[in-house]
Structure 1
Amino acid sequence: MSRDRVVIYEAAGADPEADLMVIENEHGRTRVRAVPDHAEMTALVGRLAGEGVDRFELCGSFGALWHAEARRVLEERTPVSAIYYGFESLASVASYKARFEAGEVLSEAFIIVHEGADPDSHRVVRHRDDGSGTTIVAVPDLDAAAELAAKLAGELQLIELYGVRGPAEAEPVIRAVVAAGVPVGMSAF
Structure 2
Amino acid sequence: MSESVELFLFLEPGSDPENDRVVQDLGEAEALLAWVPDGAAAARVASEAVAAGVKLIELYRGFDLASAGQVIDAVDGRAAVGVAAFGFGTSTAHPIRDSATIFVGHPSADPARHRVVREHRGGGKTTTVSVPDSWTAVTVARKLVDDGAEVIEICGGTSLGVARAVAAAVGDRVPVSLVAWPVDSIERAAAFKAEFEAENA
TM-score higher than 0.5 here? yes
Question: Is 1:182 equivalent to 2:180 in the alignment?
Answer: no
1:135 pairs, out of 127, 130, 133, with: 127
Whether contact under 8 Å (1:164, 1:186) holds in the other structure is no
Scaled by the length of structure 2, the TM-score of the pair is: 0.75
2:51 is equivalent to residue 59 of structure 1: no
Comparing 38-47 with 63-72, greater Cα deviation is found at: 63-72
Partner Cα separation in structure 2 for residue 166 and residue 124 of structure 1: 23
Alignment match, 1:17: 18
- Normalised by the length of structure 1, the TM-score is 0.79
CA–CA distance in structure 2, aligned partners of residues 132 and 16 of structure 1: 17
The answer (yes or no) to whether the contact 2:23–2:32 under 8 Å persists in 1 is yes
Equivalence map 1:14-53=2 (5 Å): 14-18=15-19, 19-23=21-25, 27-53=28-54
Q: Give the secondary-structure state (helix, strand or coil) at the position aligned to 1:62.
A: coil
Judged with a 3 Å threshold, the aligned counterparts in structure 2 of structure 1 residues 69 and 131 are, in CA distance, closer, same or farther, namely: closer
* Structure 2 residue matching 1:69: 3-state secondary structure: helix
Question: Structure 1 CA distance, aligned partners of 2:75 and 2:122?
Answer: 36
Q: Distance in 1 between matches of 2:122 and 2:75?
A: 36
Contact persistence 1:8–1:34 (CA under 8 A): yes
Q: Report what 2:71 is aligned to.
A: 70
Query: Percent of aligned pairs with the same residue?
Result: 29
Q: Distance in 2 between matches of 1:164 and 1:176?
A: 20
The alpha-carbon deviation at position 166 of structure 1 amounts to 5.5
> Which whole-Å deviations, capped at 9, do the CAs of 1:147-179 have from their partners, x for residues lacking one?
10122223222111114356334122111112x
Structure 1 unmatched runs, 5+: none
Query: Structure 1 stretches (4+) deviating beyond 6 angstroms?
Result: none
**Deviation sequence 1:34-62 (CA, Å, 0-9, x none):** 11322100011111001111100001411
Q: Give unpaired runs (5+ residues) of structure 2.
A: 182-201
Give the Cα–Cα distance (whole angstroms) in 1 for the partners of residues 24 and 130 of structure 2: 9
AA partner of residue 65 (structure 1): A
Which of residues 156, 161, 183 in structure 1 aligns to 2:154? 161
When you count helix as a share of all residues, which structure comes out higher? 1
Q: 1:30 to 1:78 in 2, by over 3 A?
A: same
Equivalent residue for 1:110? 101
Secondary structure of the residue aligned to 2:32 is: strand
Distance 1:21 1:117 in 2: 15
- Secondary structure at the counterpart of residue 137 of structure 1: strand
